[in-house]
Homo-oligomer: A and B are copies of this chain.
């Protein structure tokens, strides 16, 4: 099962994780991925250039937030929720919880 290397649990750095999350596009990717469970890049891109998105996926991978499983041509991405919870307890829950609240706000205010 080929895949991109993901950093070890103990090497995850809080600053790096926060920086990775502190970008609207990447936070959006994380949000969608949480809803989808697993998705290839195309499903998360929208209309942006591939090179831009590849950059954001790289940042998310290197920070340890997501894992990429390569299957043929497709790259299947998923959040490393369990590892993140073990390393930074409560962090992703608070981020994703707020995302859910944000979605709710947007839905009900239209």
Q: Taking beta carbons and an 8 Å cutoff, which residues of A are in contact with B?
A: 14-15, 18-19, 21-24, 27, 88-91, 93-95, 97-99, 102
Contacts and interface: CB of A to CB of B under 8 A. Distances in A.
A14 B102 contact: yes
Number of copies: 2
A19 B97 CA distance: 18
Contact of A15 (B22, B88, B91): B22
Contacts of A23: 15
A97 B102 CA distance: 24
Nearest to A27: B15
A9 to B, nearest CB: 13
B102 A95 contact: no
Contacts of A91: 91, 94-95, 98
Contacts of A97: 89-90
A23 B102 CA distance: 25
A99 B67 CA distance: 25
